[in-house]
Each structure stands twice: as structure tokens, then as C-alpha cells.
Chains A and B, each alone.
Chain A
Amino acid sequence: MVKSLNIFVLVKQVPDQGSKAGLNPDGTIDRAKAKRMLNPFDRYALQAALHTKKQYGGKVTAISMGPPPAIEVLLETIEHGADRGFLLSDRRLAASDTLATAYALYKTVLYAGQFDLIFCGLQTTDGDTAQVGPQLAERLQLPQVTYCEDFSLENDKILAKRIIEGGYQKVVSSLPGLITVANSYHPLEYKSFKGAWRVQQLQRNPENLQKIIQTIDLDIIGADPDRCGLKGSPTIVAATEKVGDLGGNCHMHEGKSPYDLVQEVLACTNLQELVSN
């Protein structure tokens, strides 16, 4: 690579579903109380972005959309070695579905400037749709590699391995392009000392912080509010219902020796035809 690459990575703050904090008694999430975290899938995207910078040279820009606390995940990317960030935060984005989200991110990417590669996580843990990456690629008219589990750059081309059912594809794509990174890619490396120190300094100096992580709104990026939030979303959640107990007649075995427990289970089930001969 001759030139220095402009590498973008999209990250999202999600509720931490693994922690008990913020869980209502019925198991639903209380978003206000729930602990927040960097979307686990985005860790792989961040690793891919940082690897690209290390291997080929360039600058990593992290982009997120969310309420003001989402700046936490952008600071986290800087601790790991990202160079700068943009947080799109605007009340008018509330209740955006994936189409409206992709539109807002599209405008943010244009605002953030030139790019060669955009990395996204495969999906988020709170939406699970895997739609925003490809929808953003469509807006930007980019080629995309989804489910990417490894890649390299050669002669201005992306050589990538993408997972497909029962195997994989090796593809060659032109730059610029968008890649969604599978969680079989390399896990995120530890925070760098330099990055952690940089974040400490930034947190002490709000003016510098705003230079490194710009918080922007729809007006700044010139996005049409009618295409964002509830208004810009072609889908709505019309109803939710409790999932009924499935079966619900679990035959419980407890309080005996392992031998007796297993004997009991085998007495209740017919597994003969399944065991190998």
C-alpha cells in the first residue's frame, strides 16, 4: 500500500445481557438500569480495523450512534488504539429501525470524510439483525464482504475469506469496500498503554476530547430528520407477546447419586436406537 489508509469502524453501545444488573424480575431488560457495553461483535470489527492500521498503515476512525453515554464505547476504541471518533447523538433518532439507522450512519460517514475501508460487527446483540452493515453499503454503493473471518490487502484489493453454509468463499474485492467481521476472526487485543493514557488525558480536558471525539447531530451532518427515527422507519413493533412455556413438563431428577440420576433418566427415555454399535 502506497498511501495511508482511512479506516472506519462502526461500533454500538448495547445493554449487557450477561450481567444481572438491570434485569427485571420477569427477565426483561430495564434499559435505564442495565449495564452498558461495547457490542461484543464490534470487538472483532475493531480488531480488524486496528490490524489493518498496524499492517498497512493509516488512521482508524470509530463511529457510533446513540445517546450521550455511548461516548464510552468510542473512548474504549481509543484505548485500544483508534485515532478519533464521531458520536451521532440526537433525540430525533429515537426508535430508528435498521433502514433509518443506516441512513443516519450514511450521512455520518460522509461527514467524517474519505475512507478506504469500513468495518462493522456482524450484528449487534440487542438487535440481532445483521442488516445495518449491508444497508449502509447499499447507501454508499460499495461492494461488501459479510461474515468475513480473515482478510488481507494486496495491490489495492481486498482478499477476504467469508463463511458460507458448510464452508467458505475466498473473494477479491476492490477498494473502497465494507466488511462485516465474523466472530471467528481474531479476538480484540488488550488496550494499549498509550491508548489508555491518551483517554485519561482526554477525560481531563473536555476541549481536547471534543476535538478527538466529535459529538454531532442531524443538523451538523445535514441529515433529513424525516428519514430518521420513527418517521424514517418503514417498520414498527406492533405488538409483543410473552413466549409461552414450551412443553413445560420437565421431568426433574435431583438429590441422588449421579448413578441413580442417570438410571432414572434412561428409564424415562428411549435412546437405544441412537447409541452407536
Chain B
Amino acid sequence: MENDPPIVQFCPKGNVLVVAEQSLGQIQPVTLELLGAGRILADKMGKDLHCVIMGYDLGDLPNQLIHYGADVVYVADDEALQYYRTLPYRRVLVDLLDSLQEPPHTMLLGSSTTGRDLAPRIAAHFETGLTADCTELDIGPYEHKSKVDPTKLGLYPNCLYAIRPSFGESLKARILGPWKNPQMATTRPGVMIPLKIDTSRQGQIHNIPVKLNSEDLRLIVAETVKEVSSGLKLTEAEVIVSGGYGLGSKEGFELLEQLANCFNSNAIGASRKVVDLGWIPYQHQVGQTGKTVRPKLYIACGISGAIQHRVGMSKSNIIIAINKDMDAPIFKFAHQGIIGDIYQIVPELITQFKALQNKSALGGKSVVGSR
């Protein structure tokens, strides 16, 4: 039929490229997660999974990337790359992509402070699309029918589906840009599933040149400090007690602290609203613009449970929510909901958790029933 859009014969060109992140000799978890996700995308297109790692004295790390799913690893090992810096890392990536016969089909980075710093530079340089903070990735067809730009019309069989929660709405948006490769996305740490390590996996390792100019060295890292904060890192704690606007004031977090201390491995979380209000530092924020957490127990105190918060904690094993408002969205996905005043319920929780502690200290059997 004459009005049908032209069918673009599109055997996907290019492979899937994951930009690895390492720190102090360790591959970061988000990289292993990206390799897991990237492997699925590459297999779906019948393509290879490539990975690039930058740093200094990388040792066995390239092999580990192969063990976690990469077919080809590009290695940029240079003293100038010891610490992450925007411009040198950007230069290496730009040079790598320029040296390839065809650009990667898909390029993935973690939405860490590094990935969120680097990915937009690369996307802007190559003038290609980038979707931030994805919670799902897939490959699938897309037919573009809008005639605003006739050059975009057509059927595209293999597009990167970059799926992310949409702001302020209980919606997920599928964002894509099949017109130019690489199609780029960042994914949140803790969301994708890594492959099991397979030390028998084989792959190729290519060393790539590091050629920096003076422009690339306009910023130097004077000091890198890993802070051992008083509490555990949010992403590692077994139990997170989290506070929201319903606390009424920042003093409410003192009470939550007491509740959290009933548990061996605990951390304090917070909704974005109270972070914006300055009740608690940003490092405690859980949700779309904060951390993604998966603790064994998440106690949400006075948190309404907007989508932005939900995406950061909904995979917790047990979610207990306390809120005065019975219509709060958090009761749609919590496991145990208590309608009541935080300042009455939380002290009672502390008392009863302490009683539990004493019983277990006496060597008593579990006094609470299983689910």
C-alpha cells in the first residue's frame, strides 16, 4: 500500500557495550548487574557483549568481567586513570568508539555518581539519546508514525527499550531512540540481576591506547576519601527505618534512630521531601533520586509512598508501614500496614522489639510465629 511507512531493513548493527566501574581494585556491583542485563540484550539481537574498563593497575579485573558475561573487554590501564575524572575517561571512551568500525548498538552505564557524570558527556559528544535511571531494559520493535520529522518514519525491529518511572505519576515510560547508535541508558544500582560467576568463560581482552591532551587534564583529584559513617551504608543494612513528612519535624529521626538500634544491622532512610526540607542529609534518601535498597525489613514511618520512593524500596523482603492516612499509597504495596500515630506506634515497637531481644538473649526459641 502506498501510504505504508518505509520498512527499514534493520539487522542490528553494533554490539552491546557496558562501561565498567571499578574502585580500589574492585569491580562495582552495578557493573556486574549491567553485564547481566547487557548479556540478555546482546543475546536477543544475536550480538556480542563488550565491556570497557578504565583505571590503573587493573590486574585481573578484565578477566573477571569475562567471567561475569562479557565476550570482549577493552582495557585502558594508565596512571592518569587511577581515579575517576570526567575528561580523561571521556577521552578514552570517545577514542574507543571512534576506533570501532561501527558504533555499539547499545551502551550502558550505571547511574552512579560516575555514570551520571560521564554518560551525558558521551551522549552529547555523539549527539545520541540517553535515558537516565532505567529500571528495566529490553529490545523490541518500534514503528514511528509521527510525521513531524519525516526522516524518522519507519519500522525499527531492534530498539533499546529504556524503561523508567515517570515523574510524579504512577507510570512507567518506555523511552527509545532507534535513529542513532549507540542507544544509551544508565541503570540504577541494585536493580538489574548479575549472572552467576563462571570462571570457565572465555573472551578476548584488548588493550586500548590512552592519549590525553592538556585540555583533558584541567581537573585533578587531590584526595579521595571513603567515609566510614556512623551508621551502615543504606544499601548494605538488613533493616532500614525510614522517615517521611509525617514525622512532623527533624527531631522525629531521633526516635527512628532508637527503633533502628533494636537491630544488629541497621540504617536510617528518608523520603525525598524531608531531605529537601533539610531534616536529614541527602545520603539517607531512598527512592528514584536517592538510593535503591533491598533490606530484609523496611519500616516506613510517615512516608506516603509516592512512586519515586516506591521504586527505591519496593523489593524489600518485609515492608512495615506506619501512617495516619489510611489512603496513603504505601499501603498498596507494604506487607504490614499500621494506621496510627508514629509517636505512639514507634515507642511501642521499640518496647516490644527490646522484649524480643531479651527473650532471644535468654536462648528462648523464636516466640513470634512465622508467616
Contact = CB atoms under 8 A, between A and B. Distances in A.
Q: Which of B83, B113, B276, B288 gathers most chain A CB within 10 Å?
A: B113
B335 to A, nearest CB: 6
A86 to B, nearest CB: 21
A275 B239 CA distance: 9
Interface in A249-265: 249-255, 258-259, 261-263, 265
B218 A274 contact: no
B124 interface: yes
Contact of B219 (A27, A28, A166, A173): A173
Sorting the interface of chain B by its residue count into under 10, 10 to 19, 20 to 34 or 35 or more gives 35 or more
A235 B340 CA distance: 45
A123 B233 CA distance: 23
A146 B360 CA distance: 47
Contacts of A147: 113, 117
A250 B333 contact: yes
Nearest to A130: B116
B142 interface: yes
A75 B170 CA distance: 33
A203 B320 CA distance: 51
A201 interface: no
Nearest to B162: A235
Nearest to A24: B169
B235 to A, nearest CB: 9
Interface in A236-277: 236-243, 245-255, 258-259, 261-263, 265-272, 274-277
Contact of B336 (A26, A123, A269, A277): A269
Main secondary structure of the interface of A (DSSP, over half): mixed
Contact of B168 (A126, A230, A234): A126
Contacts of A221: none
A162 interface: yes
Given A167-B227, A270-B369, A145 B219 contact: yes
B96 interface: no
A231 B261 CA distance: 54
Contacts, number: 305
A102 interface: yes
Contact of B332 (A18, A137, A248): A248
Interface string A170-206: 1111100100001110010000000000000000000
B124 A138 contact: yes
Nearest to A255: B339
Nearest to B118: A134
B113 A128 contact: no
B1 interface: no
B253 interface: no
A45 interface: no
Interface string A111-128: 000000000000101111
A131 B356 contact: no
Interface in B306-331: 306-308, 310, 314, 318-321, 326, 329, 331
Contacts of B238: 274
B175 interface: yes
Contact of B149 (A163, A177, A230, A237): A230
Interface stretch (B55-63, B64-72, B202-210, B278-286): B278-286
A107 to B, nearest CB: 14
B226 A28 contact: no
B112 A242 contact: no
A28 B86 contact: no
A172 B219 CA distance: 6
A235 B176 contact: yes
A191 to B, nearest CB: 18
B258 interface: no
A126 B339 contact: no
Given A167-B226, A171-B220, A253-B338, A40 B281 contact: no
B335 A249 contact: yes
Contacts of A162: 113
B227 A166 contact: yes
B360 A277 contact: yes
A270 B368 contact: yes
B334 A99 contact: no
Contact of A269 (B113, B148, B283, B318): B318
Given A146-B113, A265-B336, A17 B167 contact: yes
29 contacts: A27-B170, A27-B329, A28-B169, A128-B308, A130-B120, A131-B116, A134-B118, A135-B123, A165-B113, A172-B220, A173-B219, A182-B282, A184-B283, A235-B175, A237-B174, A238-B161, A238-B174, A240-B171, A243-B170, A247-B335, A248-B332, A250-B334, A250-B337, A252-B339, A255-B339, A262-B352, A263-B352, A272-B360, A274-B263
Given A134-B118, A234-B177, A250-B336, 10 more contacts: A17-B168, A131-B116, A139-B124, A165-B112, A171-B220, A236-B144, A258-B340, A265-B338, A275-B263, A277-B264
Interface of B: 23, 28, 83-87, 90, 112-114, 116-121, 123-125, 127-133, 142, 144, 146, 148-149, 161-162, 165-177, 179-180, 215, 218-227, 233, 238-239, 261-265, 273, 275-276, 278, 281-283, 288-289, 296-297, 306-308, 310, 314, 318-321, 326, 329, 331-340, 344-345, 347-349, 352-353, 356-357, 360-361, 366-371
